[in-house]
Amino acid sequence: MSARVINNSRMAGKIKAILFDLDGTLIDTIEDIAAAFSAAIAKDGLEPATVEETKLVVGRGLVNALKGLLEIRNHPVSEERFTELFHVLYTYYEEHPVVYSKPFDGMIELVSGLQDTYQLGVISNKDHELTLRIVSELMGDVPWSVIRGMNDEYPRKPDVGAFTPFVKKMDLGLEEMLLIGDSEVDYQSARGANMDVILVSWGFRPREALVALEGACVVDSVEELKEAIYAL
């Protein structure tokens, strides 16, 4: 586990809620996302998206991810064509969201062990309805206080406004929440909100990219994550 910088203005034990990023943190969704990308870009005769390509572009919503994939493939398209391709992507993903997806090993047990001590939430830049469906199907037994994906009501991470529904529903301040994620987007979200953040290395970003973030706490196993949570 890398060294971390904790908000020193906070007394130990003040964390009352834990918010989890979805993709790459709680659940390994990468193969289903790659399959949806592949269905879309096949319409333009492109080879299927690889898992490696998909990991590079996810994290800021599916629209931005598809834009990133087309840039990687050096395949510019018109705005109209992009809309058509995205429709294919979204329709495919909506119909096949959990063919390959599954919780990362140990995460169900970890979250179940936290539920008596903390309020728990899921925050994702994925479409809200898809987020609800994936969490419900794969981790539906957890008593989540709030599950929130993207919609028109609130901005996406890393905008601090993404945390508004959690503040309202949990009746807590941001300084009482911990964010757990797997990318620079999660790091930027937490830093902008003055929240503590723990990054997991089993997600969609290379470990070296995470440890390069100033003051980042990076964990390599669920056991390390558990230790880091209870150390706050």
- Beta strands 27-28; 102-103: pairing state: antiparallel
**What does the pLDDT average to over 121-146?**
96
What confidence category does residue 4 fall into, taking pLDDT thresholds of 50, 70 and 90? very low
Q: What integer pLDDT is reported at residue 151 of this predicted model?
A: 87
- pLDDT tens for residues 90-105? 999 999 999 999 999 9
- pLDDT tens for residues 184-217? 999 999 999 999 999 999 999 999 999 999 999 9
The answer to whether the beta carbons of residues 135 and 146 sit under 8 Å apart is no
Beta-carbon count within 10 A of 79 CB: 7
**What does the pLDDT average to over 51-67?**
92
Report the run of H or E that residue 60 belongs to, with start and end. none
Q: What integer pLDDT is reported at residue 11 of this predicted model?
A: 39
Residue 133 above 80 pLDDT? Answer: yes
Residue 8 above 70 pLDDT? Answer: no
Of the chain, the percentage scoring pLDDT greater than 90 comes to 90
**What does the pLDDT average to over 123-134?**
95
Tokens of 26: 């709680």
What confidence category does residue 3 fall into, taking pLDDT thresholds of 50, 70 and 90? very low
Report the chain's mean pLDDT, rounded to a whole number: 93
Structural domains of the chain in order of their starting residue, each with its CATH number: 17-28+101-230 (3.40.50.1000), 30-95 (1.10.150)
pTM of the predicted structure, to 2 decimals: 0.90
> What's the half-sphere exposure (Cβ side, CA atoms, 13 Å) at 1?
18
**What does the pLDDT average to over 211-232?**
95
**What does the pLDDT average to over 173-186?**
96
Contacts of 90 (CB under 8 A, 6+ apart): 36, 62, 127
Residue 12 above 70 pLDDT? Answer: no
